[in-house]
Structure 1
Amino acid sequence: MYSYRSTCVRRAFVGLITACLFLAAGQARAEQATVAVAANFTGTMTKLISLFEQQTGHQVQASYGSTGKLYAQIRHGAPYDVFLAADAERPRLLAEHSVAVAGSQFPYAEGRLVLWSRNPDLFRDGLQYLQGEPERLAIGNPKTAPYGIAAIEVLENLGLADSLKPKLVSGDSIAQTFQFVATGNAHAGFVAQAQVRAWKGNKDSAWLVPKTLHQPLSQHAILLNRGANNAAAQAWLEFLKGAKAQAIIREDGYDTP
């Protein structure tokens, strides 16, 4: 009886030690990736990070801003491992300048542009509203925000760019643009559909802009040189391509590749 109990105790002890070693090894392998993220993707990124960290044990720290400003920070040596841009051009330029890993760029989402107002009675027909020359119209800064470029393209294709130019209010990022409208500093504005879906306010006015009125808002990711040997950064990019991540991205109002 004593021998049997001793054997059980030894086995339990060995099992406990093995489990602790396995846990310690897993923690040693877990890393953290720092990701620069286009402002329009803020809400979706929060959901994705939660799922990613649960599945992998790795951690992700996100820094949000306009694509143009994040790009400039990266070119000046900001310590990011991954870049999730709101366009394809700036990731391509980073690879060309040997700041990012060549061949690692891929599209993770396609944004949809929406003319939006927090006022549910402001308009039913977005085109008709624009033709009526609204008093203040918010857009992202075309120099830094791809959604701002798309907004200008819409106005140009509608023949309204010149007449509405004095009415435009530019936000540094699409997040600031959304805040202009949400706080009433602009009556309406061109924002991301994902932002509208995440809106917690009352009923609103929204017009989903036809894709034919602007160039595709193809959002690309790329692995930066700093993250080339970072397991968390590499795992994050693989996760972003996966079915679960892509489903969340679609649910939040994006099209997916």
Structure 2
Amino acid sequence: MLLRPLAAVLAAIFLPFPVQAAEVQVAVASNFLAPMQRIAAAFERDTGHRARLASGATGKFYAQIRSGAPFEVLLAADETTPARLEAEGRAVAGTRFTYAIGQLVLWSPRAEYVDAEGAILRRGGFAHLAVASPRTAPYGAAAAQVLAALGLADALAPRLVSGENIGQTYQFVASGNAELGFVALSQVMADDKLTGGSAWQVPADLYAPLRQDAVMLERGADNPAAAALLDYLRGDAARALIRGYGYRF
């Protein structure tokens, strides 16, 4: 009769959860904030570790990390920034990987306003087109590439409203300060469905692939929660959530 309680005690001792939960400070590209909030909740539930999230433009994060910001993991909107940090010794070699490939959309909160081919860009009838800053936001650079490829960069330049990051760009459009804008598909999609409005999913051959890399930063090298989070992002549960927001792998 004593064997069963003893077995239960031993099983509890060796459950695959961290002996002591830890926190990890994560810099998250603005386009990935919504899926990462859901991933962070699942990560805490499944591992006991907690991810503290700060969102912003990848270019701004790069400057902050170089200035000593206490981030331990970077989830960038590009692949070049994590690689640069690794080359500079500010990220842990061998921890960098692509966690998602983003997609660009032209979006308006108004139903049937943006047509499925993006012809509204040539047709006009709008005063403002929101884009993220090409200098600090990879999605902004992608939008600039699209306008150049379509031969519309000069014609639409007077109508552009520039956001510091893709999150601010989305707010310009959602608030009505711009009738439409180039945003991340993940900002207007959840669980494989457009959350509202109308959109043109920009063909991938009009802009360079938005490969988004994750990397452990130097400050996270000895934090078990940082390593656990990067492992979790590679797992099936996280990848299913990421895919539901329109990202590819």
Q: Which residue of 2 aligns with 1:3?
A: none
Paired residue for 1:112, among 83, 103, 124?
103
Q: How does 1:28-39 map to 2 (within 5 A)?
A: 28-39=19-30
User: Deviations 1:125-168 (Å, cap 9, x if unpaired)?
Assistant: 44310012332100011111100000000000000001111110
Does the aligned pair in 1 maintain the 2:105–2:199 contact within 8 Å?
A: yes
Q: Is 2:171 the counterpart of 1:179? A: yes
Report the CA distance between 1:244 and its aligned residue.
1.6
Which 10-residue stretch deviates more, 29-38 or 213-222?
A: 29-38
Rounded Cα–Cα distance in structure 2 between residues aligned with 1:155 and 1:21: 59
Rounded Cα–Cα distance in structure 2 between residues aligned with 1:57 and 1:28: 9
Q: Which residue of 1 aligns with 2:139?
A: 147
The number of residue pairs the alignment matches comes to 247
Which structure: larger Rg?
1
Rounded Cα–Cα distance in structure 1 between residues aligned with 2:175 and 2:62: 28
Q: Which residue of 2 aligns with 1:209?
A: 202
Q: Is 2:37 the counterpart of 1:57? A: no
Does the aligned pair in 2 maintain the 1:118–1:202 contact within 8 Å?
A: no
TM-score, L = length of structure 1 = 0.88
User: CA separation of 1:224/1:203 partners in 2, compared to 1, >3 Å: closer, same or farther?
Assistant: closer
Report the CA distance between 1:17 and its aligned residue.
8.6
Name structure 2 gaps, 5 residues minimum: none
RMSD (Å) for aligned C-alpha atoms: 2.5
Does the aligned pair in 1 maintain the 2:190–2:244 contact within 8 Å?
A: no
For 2:97, the aligned partner's letter is F
* SS of 1:155 mapped into structure 2: helix
Q: Is 2:160 the counterpart of 1:165? A: no
Paired residue for 1:246, among 239, 246, 249?
239
TM-score, L = length of structure 2 = 0.91
Rounded Cα–Cα distance in structure 2 between residues aligned with 1:170 and 1:155: 14
For 2:132, the aligned partner's letter is G
Does the aligned pair in 2 maintain the 1:139–1:169 contact within 8 Å?
A: yes
Report the CA distance between 1:222 and its aligned residue.
0.5
User: CA separation of 1:33/1:168 partners in 2, compared to 1, >3 Å: closer, same or farther?
Assistant: same
Rounded Cα–Cα distance in structure 1 between residues aligned with 2:44 and 2:95: 22
Does the aligned pair in 2 maintain the 1:126–1:206 contact within 8 Å?
A: no
For 1:102, the aligned partner's letter is A
Report the CA distance between 1:252 and its aligned residue.
1.2
User: CA separation of 1:194/1:202 partners in 2, compared to 1, >3 Å: closer, same or farther?
Assistant: closer
Q: Which residue of 2 aligns with 1:74?
A: 65
* SS of 1:127 mapped into structure 2: coil
* SS of 2:176 mapped into structure 1: coil
* SS of 1:110 mapped into structure 2: strand
* SS of 1:37 mapped into structure 2: strand
Does the aligned pair in 1 maintain the 2:78–2:210 contact within 8 Å?
A: yes
Report the CA distance between 1:197 and its aligned residue.
1.1
For 2:176, the aligned partner's letter is G
Report the CA distance between 1:213 and its aligned residue.
0.4
For 2:218, the aligned partner's letter is N
User: CA separation of 1:154/1:201 partners in 2, compared to 1, >3 Å: closer, same or farther?
Assistant: closer
Rounded Cα–Cα distance in structure 2 between residues aligned with 1:57 and 1:202: 31
Q: Is 2:35 the counterpart of 1:44? A: yes
Rounded Cα–Cα distance in structure 2 between residues aligned with 1:121 and 1:246: 31
Rounded Cα–Cα distance in structure 2 between residues aligned with 1:34 and 1:172: 22
For 1:49, the aligned partner's letter is A
For 2:187, the aligned partner's letter is Q
Q: Which residue of 1 aligns with 2:130?
A: 138
